[in-house]
Amino acid sequence: MLKLWRWYQNCLAVHPVKTQVISSGLIWGAGDIAAQAVTNYTAKTRSATEDDNREFRINWKRVSTTSLFGLAFVGPVGHYWYEGLDRFIRLRLMLKPNSFRFVAAKVGADGFLFGPLDLLVFFTYMGFSTGKSVPQIKEDVKRDFFPALILEGGIWPVVQVANFRYIPVRYQPLYVNFFCLLGSCFLSWVEQQQDAPWKAWVKSILPLK
């Protein structure tokens, strides 16, 4: 395990962006496999039909599609986001590293800027990758965006407080990638839920038209 960690450190030092890109792609692919398994299990518990009891098979096309999202967006964009955010907070806002205001500013920026953008890009990308039209994608985004944003908003800030307070900037993407295994599973699960009743309930409590 120690050798693996040292190997990762070396890769990160020599090829930081490439390392983040590859690791993000692998993690998001693994998260989608987990999401498919969860969706299959929940479908079985809701229905006792013979068709729902068929053997679970991984949709590798979907896995590759989701993995590509981690590879092309989360990896490179996440790398530059965390590096740039740290420089902006330290050099432009002149906040003391690891102070309360420093961490709060990072958590706020991440939650209000990068978080919504990540969700919007994910649901839009997944729509185009499955051959949906622009109107269909708009409906999917309306259906999935706010429920996902609210549910993630209750968990992700806690994760990021620890990240920005205790983890060096160089390793913050690795820390985030670990939780992205759960995050990618969650987003894939939300996207696969389509018109689930809980989404309608979440949207019903929002003051939106």
pTM of the model: 0.80
The answer, yes or no, to whether residue 178 has pLDDT greater than 90, is no
pLDDT value for 90: 93
Tens digits of residue pLDDT in 98-139:
999 999 999 999 999 999 999 899 889 989 998 999 999 999
The two tokens of residue 68 are 């590509």
pLDDT band at 207 (very low <50, low <70, confident <90, very high): low
Q: Specify burial of residue 191 (Cβ count, 10 A radius: 0-12, 13-18, 19+).
A: buried
SS in 3 state form for 119-186? HHHHHHHHHHHCCCCHHHHHHHHHHHHHHHHHHHHCCHHHHHHHHHHHCCHHHHHHHHHHHHHHHHHH
- Tokens linked to 121: 């890009």
In this prediction, residues 64-83 reach a mean pLDDT of: 92
pLDDT at 51: 53
Q: Given this model, what pLDDT does residue 104 score?
A: 96
Answer for the pair 163, 176: CB distance below 8 angstroms, yes or no. Answer: yes
When pLDDT is averaged across residues 142-153 and rounded to a whole number, the result is 84
Report the range of poorest mean pLDDT among 57-61, 145-149, 153-157, 197-201.
Answer: 197-201
Summarised one tens digit per residue, pLDDT across range 18-36 is: 998 998 898 888 888 888 8
pLDDT class of 208 with cuts at 50, 70, 90: low
Residue 161: its pLDDT value, please? Answer: 95
Which of the residue ranges 63-67, 84-88, 121-125, 175-179 would you say has the lowest mean pLDDT? 175-179
Report percent pLDDT > 90 for the chain.
43
